[in-house]
Structure 1
Amino acid sequence: MVAQNVGALIVMDHDKFAGMFTERDYARKVILKGKASRDTLVREIMSEHPVVVTPDTTIDQCMALMTEKYIRHLPVMDKQQLVGLVSIGDIVKCMIDEQKCIIEDLEHYITGHHE
């Protein structure tokens, strides 16, 4: 995780989504309990039933879930199939891009450069 600069990993059991393994799982279930990393299996400490969203979930809904549940990653499920992962970084980038567009539109409106 450190080498790839990621805070969470999707855990698969063959082709089936099995859960998530996060930095928080590692910190709370390995480090704080005094376990050794080399002797601990991912299945022992992963989150088996993480909060998930669908492709139809809005950015605002994702942000609300992340805030309410204190999580930074949301697996995206379409029926029983994992189709992606949304991170808090993805949400922030989307919000910034949206605000830039609004600001540009307002600047064009104010200066009279309507399209």
Structure 2
Amino acid sequence: MTTTVKQVLEIKGAHAHAVTPNATVLEALTQMAERDIGAVLVLQESSLVGIFTERDYARKVALKGLSSKDALIKDLMTPNVCTITPSHTIDEVMSIMTQNRFRHLPVVDHGKICGIITIGDVVKSVIAEHEATIQHLSSYISGDIAS
């Protein structure tokens, strides 16, 4: 059985944290620290206009010596965000993340944000699938289930 993004979001929850383009980096970092997350979506009204991640902070703020109190998200976010849909499989998501070196992918369905999938969510899902397969095979081999 192949797990879909929709199934992962049903377990994880569909909430995605967001800031506006005019928020400061400090505001975004505070929200990320309080929620123990590695990225926030950037929304203009209800439209996704970017994503701001720990990697953006490290490469675009810290290394350039900018001030987190003064720098605005709109100047440092990653625009043109790659998104996925609830119908994507975890295998497809893993491929997208690996090819593009993404750790976070917003989930969008018909223009509406449904959540965010992280590399950790993908790993947990793959492990759960493997554990289920192992359990099934163990039961089959020991004769606990019919062929």
TM-score using structure 2 length: 0.75
Moved over 3 A (4+): none
String of CA shifts for 1:57-109, please: whole Å, max 9, x gaps.
11101000111111100101112221111111111111111111101101101
Asked whether the equivalents of residues 39 and 52 of structure 2 are also in contact (C-alpha less than 8 Å), the reply is yes
Match of 1:103 among 104, 117, 134: 134
In 2, Cα distance between equivalents of 1:70 and 1:64:
10
- Count matched residues: 115
In 1, Cα distance between equivalents of 2:80 and 2:54:
16
Asked whether the equivalents of residues 49 and 81 of structure 2 are also in contact (C-alpha less than 8 Å), the reply is no
* Structure 1: segments with no counterpart, 5+ residues: none
Residue 71 of structure 2 corresponds to residue 40 of structure 1: yes
Q: How large is the RMSD of aligned CA atoms in angstroms?
A: 1.1
In 1, Cα distance between equivalents of 2:125 and 2:74:
33
Which letter maps to 1:109? Answer: Y
Match of 1:74 among 99, 105, 108: 105
Corresponding position of 1:114? 145
Corresponding position of 1:86? 117
Match of 2:53 among 1, 17, 22: 22
In 2, Cα distance between equivalents of 1:15 and 1:50:
15
* Structure 2: segments with no counterpart, 5+ residues: 1-31
Which letter maps to 1:101? Answer: A
Sequence identity percentage: 43
